[in-house]
Amino acid sequence: MFASKPPMPVDPELLPILAALSAGPRLAELPLAQLREGPPPIPLSSPARMVEVTDLRIPTSEGGLPARLYRPSEVRPLPLLIYFHGGGFVLGSVDSHDIITRALARAADCAVLSVDYRLAPEYRFPAAVDDCIAAIGWAHAHAAGLEVDAGRMAVGGDSAGGNLATVAAIHARDEGGPPIAGQLLIYPVTRLRAPAEGSMLENGRGYFLQADDMAWFESHYLGESGDPDHPDASPLLAPRLDRLPPAFVLTAEFDPLRDQAEQYAARMRAAGVDVTQVRFTGAIHGFFGMPIAIGQRAVKEAADWLTRRLRPGPPRPPGNSLRV
């Protein structure tokens, strides 16, 4: 689709960050506990100030899920973004993504509920899917207590979290779940064990997230018995993608996940879903929210779209668009 455009170089502000990340040990070289306890590998900006931040637990049939609710203003009720963090289904937490969720709450002027779903390999597929579905249902049922607007509720996430957000949206469609106003998908994983072709091959080495990292994450998430082709693991392979909430799909040029995310956007658009797709040239996986111009611009574009989707009033006409 984009073959007519020559590739742009990596954004100059990303080059020293990429060099530092590339010099570190690979995922498989460190104990899992050390990976989870260490500082985030990607530099982030200063935290946006909130009026209120509340840690809570979401009850589920498997126990309670830690979550964090951010309120950027005194307005009540606020629209709500339910956010699922990235980390390959193995790493990440509400703490690791605190900067990003604060930034989105501030820029979009909405409440954000950040969810700590269960991680692999302790809890393999589909535990995380079940948790995210449960969190959406709980948030909708308890909207009044949370002082959020149940009619203006979106889901979102980055990388693995983007996978979980869109899988949960499919379940909501098929199972009479809560109404979802939009999907904010930041370089989402949409196909596990993707073929070594296109961006997975071109960007599979040297751009922070590597092909062997994806294999490491997937082995932890799926184990020996998990089916990588199941639609709950690989929504790109879902039999139908019609009647899904409007979506904002952000991709990065030098990301091995670029093609699968863009293919997912194209499939949704072909099914009649209102899709806005933006590819950031010169960007790498994980750049969203970095304290550099391109990272902050990405947050602003995502938040601007979310603000429009969650604005009160009559339904907006479809606005399919694609930009590189």
pLDDT for 35-51, tens place per residue? 999 888 888 778 999 99
Burial of 266 (0-12, 13-18, 19+ CB in 10 A): middle
pLDDT higher than 60, residue 319: no
DSSP 186-236: ES----TT--S-HHHHHTSSSSSS-HHHHHHHHHHHHTTT--TTSTTT-GG
* Catalytic (active site) residue 140: no
Instruction: Give the C-alpha separation, 23 to 195, whole Å.
Output: 27
Architecture of domain 12-312+319-323: 3-Layer(aba) Sandwich (3.40)
pLDDT tens for residues 261-289?
999 999 999 999 999 999 999 999 999 99
Q: What is the pTM of this model?
A: 0.94
Query: Tell me, what amino acid is at 44?
Result: L
Residue 93 annotated to the active site? no
Residue 4 banded pLDDT, cuts 50, 70, 90: very low
Catalytic residue among 96, 114, 159, 234: 159
With beta carbons less than 8 A apart as the criterion, state whether 148 and 78 touch: yes
Query: Which among 97, 140, 220, 285 is annotated as catalytic?
Result: 285
| CA 66 from centre of chain | 18
Mean pLDDT of 67-71: 98
Q: Measure the CA–CA gap between 297 and 301, rounded to whole angstroms.
A: 6
pLDDT at 322: 65
The residue-averaged pLDDT of 296-321 equals 82
pLDDT at residue 62 in the model: 85
For the question of residue 130 being annotated catalytic, the response is no
Alpha carbon separation from 240 to 173, 283, 293, 314 (Å, rounded): 11, 30, 37, 27
- pLDDT computed for residue 212 by the predictor: 95
The catalytically annotated residue of 232, 255, 259, 274 is 255
Q: How many angstroms separate the CA atoms of 100 and 289, rounded? A: 6
Alpha-carbon distance values, 17 to 208, 256, 257, 287, 299 (Å):
9, 18, 19, 10, 18
